[in-house]
Structure 1
Amino acid sequence: MGAWSHEPFGNDTACDWAAELEESTGFVVIEQALDQVIADKNEDFIDADDGSIAHAAAEVLAQITGQGTQDLDFLDGVVQWIDQLDARPPTALIQKAIIVIDILTQENSELDELWQDSDDYEEWTQNLNELKAILKNAS
């Protein structure tokens, strides 16, 4: 999994996705990340990389609302992207992120399975719950 932390950007996959986000405008890349997990769910298998990216995308939405669960100072490009954004996330996108967070802990989630096999499963699920609460307050 290439993870060093339970936090949204605590893995290689999410940090690689950050570069894609930095080159984008608007919310398209975030929505694509969330939509991929929904598509995976429809195929009855949620890929771990897709889940990691969606977790990071949800964190970016939370950061845009002025809150978040992780200090992103080590991701200068993401911080700059957020600072330059001149719009709030659409409510429908925030609601989609909340749905996706719930999907990440379902039985057919490879990411959930990998975290269950680690010592940090409780911290990871707590992070997801905190993120979901932030997004619910923002929607």
Structure 2
Amino acid sequence: MGAWGYGNFDNDTAADWAFSLEESTDLSLITEAINAALEEDYIDSDIGCEALVAIEAVARLKGKWGEKSAYSEPVDNWIERNNFEPSKDLIDSSNKALKLIAGQNSELYELWAETEDLTSWLEEIKNLEQRINA
């Protein structure tokens, strides 16, 4: 997974996805990343990482910014340049994806369960859930 922290932006997959968002001109990349997590019986870590960053984008579009960092900068810059309003369907999909990613049929959950940071990672997920529902 190439992670250097438990934050949603703190891994190679998230960083790659964030840079790809910079080229996007609509919400399709965000929607695709979230839907990819919903389509799996078992969520691969890369799919989970991309969905989490996409959901971070949804929260930011709602004005519920999380922690900003050099790793979140591509998403933050994209949000500041675009004025999209996430639909109720996108928010509902985000909620469903979060529950699946933080569940037992998720490689990310399994990977974090093998570390001392599982609780911190789950708190990040909960914080994100609160922001998209605020």
Query: If the length of structure 2 is used for normalisation, what is the TM-score?
Result: 0.93
Q: Which residue of 2 aligns with 1:11?
A: 11
Gaps in structure 1 of 5+ consecutive residues: none
The partner residue of 2:65 within 65, 68, 73 is 68
The letter of the residue matching 1:2 is G
Q: SS where residue 39 of structure 2 aligns?
A: helix
The partner residue of 1:112 within 109, 113, 128 is 109
Identity %: 34
Shift of residue 77, structure 1, vs aligned partner: 2.8
- Number of matched pairs: 134
Contact 2:45 2:106 in 1 (8 A): yes
Q: Which residue of 2 aligns with 1:39?
A: 39
Shift of residue 83, structure 1, vs aligned partner: 0.7
Gaps in structure 2 of 5+ consecutive residues: none
Q: SS where residue 99 of structure 1 aligns?
A: helix
Counterpart-to-counterpart distance in 1, 2:70 and 2:61: 14
Shift of residue 22, structure 1, vs aligned partner: 0.7
Structure 1 runs (4+) deviating above 3 angstroms are: 72-76
**Is 1:80 equivalent to 2:77 in the alignment?**
yes
Per-residue Cα deviation, 1:20-39 (whole angstroms, up to 9, x for no partner): 11110111000000111111
Counterpart-to-counterpart distance in 2, 1:100 and 1:74: 22
Q: Which residue of 1 aligns with 2:93?
A: 96
